[in-house]
Amino acid sequence: MSNAITPPHMELGKADTNTPNGTQANACGRPLPDLRHPDVVMTLARLGSFFPHRLSFMRSFIRRIAKENASLTMPVCALDADGYGHLVLTLPVSGYDYSLIAYSRPLNADERTDRVIATKWDASFCLFDGIPTEEDITALADQVTKQEAGRYHHKVLTLSRANKSLRLFHHVVESLASGVQPDLQQIKAIGYLMRTTAVYGNGKFGIADRDRIAGRPGLEGPFQAEMLTVFLIREFTLFLADYCARQISGEAAIGLAPSYRRYLGIGNSTGLGMAPFLVNHPALLHSWIMAREVAFARTQSVPCINDDQYHRFETLLDRAYHSCHDWQVEDQIQMDRIIILREELAKLKADISARPLNQEYPFKDVVSRCASYSLETQELMVSLLIELIPDQVDGLVDCMANPHTPKLIPSMTIAELRHILDDHYRWVDAVDRSAETSDAHFWYTSEEKLEPRLGRRYEEPGQELEMPFNIPRYVGALKSAITDLPDHQIVAELLMGRPDLRHIVRRVQTTAIYPYAEIRDNLVGDACRPIDLLRCKLSFFGASKFDPKSDRWTRITLYQGAPTAADLMAETEPDLAASRLAELDDWIFVLSPSEA
């Protein structure tokens, strides 16, 4: 490799691809442990088996505001007896105030839909930079309630909307108004009072550009403004249920129990609109995967553990086992995987009970015992083991942002380009590009909603609008173009005659610096399941209870089991601060209140 593509120092986000499994050094001078090869990690099947983990964006957000003793306030509450109107929730994060302006409106049954084509919702939200005035709230009311059709300014950081889970919301309100807690089985069956259908950020529809807040303390990491928004929406839904109950029964009404409040998250319906992000942001994808892989590799380098860590491992394994028994979905493919996961976790528990983990490198022993298990079980173990070494993992959160964009390197030689293709694109050789099944789909952006869609190439019109995701075809064209070129020729000379290859050359060159940047599977093939892309990205958000409704969209739960604002504001003795923070951060593999 030439100096043109090798950074002067190896950062976590820029690994030396000559040794993808070898010892590497990051910018902090700490050696990187042995990592799983991108050929192993970056397949759709494995990415589609990821679970939320300690580095997930919701987890890191909660850790931040817990350390800061963030205190939620409600400067404005203008709701009527039915819970309609508006309110403002304000939370300080790293010295800056952010406010959720929530607009609650009546919604007719024939207007209720979770599809992106909806134009009305039970509630609409924006995250406001600072504390809004009455003039701000009034001016935004007619805009935020229209969402995409509204007009915005730089003070609006995110947009979102949500619909009530009517059955559960009404049951909770009626129960609290009657002075009793809601039925636990109904709480478990749904897990949220409202579900969002979108959380928009990063300058979309005229709101503030990402650059405005990217370097601001508290929001510098990926999707932190969105995670703040959803956290505040959850607080809104919990307040609204208590509020509506009080409007019915006054002082006779009771509040939702703290354990129920923690268990209830925010639902979300997510479709194809999220999928292309991982393809369009290869450098950022690499940073996310790399941080997770480094964290996992560090668990495999732990030479021994103490009794507390062993007990913690057994506790989390037991929690994971019980949690997956609460995970019920209608999708038969996913349900079959869950059933296998349950069986394998039971087998692992029994195996460890009969034969305790090795004293030397016990976490490596865990992985060895799971080597023949399903991808679901293997990737759940990644999330579980990362929990056991927080001091070695939490700092990796700072490595998950990546401001770099792929850049063409015109001075690279053809020999170097061939080397990268041989090293990172061997998987393309397994794709039979002569078969129609190899490019059965095409990705495009819909004109109506500007949302990504997936079409059938040989059955539907529109392939002339195709997004550049047919990586096997592009790589094949590149390989053919350089077959007879001399090794010493440079890329600039190639592209002078073949400018159409510029995109794929840049993409290939990117993997030399960011080896986890490319999904090593055919994204337009007949066997492609976009749901795998969704689950991968959502696992980094921290989503749980994946509930596929097809291979193109899923329902999930956000912040289920997470501490509430009231938990964060609870006073603690100074000498118990560390244990309190650890307790607030302990919500992976959430259990229902009766099991916790």
DSSP assignment of 395-428 = GGGGGS---------TT-BHHHHHHHHHHH-GGG
| Closest to 225 measured CA to CA, from 205, 202, 207, 206 | 202
Torsion sign, CA atoms 576, 577, 583, 586: negative
- Region 60-75: what's the mean pLDDT? 95
**pLDDT over 50 at 499, yes or no:** yes
User: What's the pLDDT band for 274 if we cut at 50, 70, 90?
Assistant: confident
Q: In residues, how long is the chain? A: 596
**pLDDT over 60 at 5, yes or no:** no
For 366, phi and psi rounded to 5 degrees? Answer: -60, -50
What is the H or E stretch that residue 134 is in? Answer: helix 134-144
Tell me, what amino acid is at 56?
S
The rounded radius of gyration (Å) of the Cα atoms in the chain is 25
- Region 16-29: what's the mean pLDDT? 38
For 283, phi and psi rounded to 5 degrees? Answer: -65, -40
In angstroms, the CA 324 to CA 367 distance is 19
- Give yes or no for a contact between 173 and 143, defined as CB atoms under 8 angstroms apart: no
Portion of the chain with pLDDT greater than 70, in percent? 93
- Region 288-307: what's the mean pLDDT? 97
- Give yes or no for a contact between 584 and 565, defined as CB atoms under 8 angstroms apart: no
Determine how β-strand 85-93 pairs with β-strand 73-79.
antiparallel
**pLDDT over 90 at 203, yes or no:** no
- Give yes or no for a contact between 148 and 205, defined as CB atoms under 8 angstroms apart: yes
**DSSP string of 487-512?**
TT-BHHHHHHH-GGGHHHHHHHHHHH
For 468, phi and psi rounded to 5 degrees? Answer: -80, 70
- Region 321-332: what's the mean pLDDT? 94
- Region 165-185: what's the mean pLDDT? 97
Coil vs helix vs strand at 466? coil
- Region 303-313: what's the mean pLDDT? 96
pLDDT for 43 = 97
pLDDT for 595 = 66
In angstroms, the CA 28 to CA 48 distance is 31
Coil vs helix vs strand at 554? strand
In angstroms, the CA 291 to CA 418 distance is 28
Coil vs helix vs strand at 153? coil
**pLDDT over 90 at 2, yes or no:** no
Q: Which two three-digit tokens encode residue 340? A: 């296998």
User: What's the pLDDT band for 205 if we cut at 50, 70, 90?
Assistant: confident
pLDDT for 27 = 35
Tell me, what amino acid is at 1?
M
What is the H or E stretch that residue 241 is in? Answer: helix 224-249
pLDDT for 301 = 95
How many helices, marked H, and strands, marked E, lie in the chain?
22, 13
Strand order in the sheet with 73-79: 73-79, 85-93, 96-104, 123-129, 156-164, 192-200, 265-270, 554-558, 544-548
pLDDT for 112 = 82
pLDDT for 32 = 64
Q: Where are the domains of the chain?
A: 414-513
Q: Sort 117 into a burial class: Cβ within 10 Å, 0-12 / 13-18 / 19+.
A: exposed
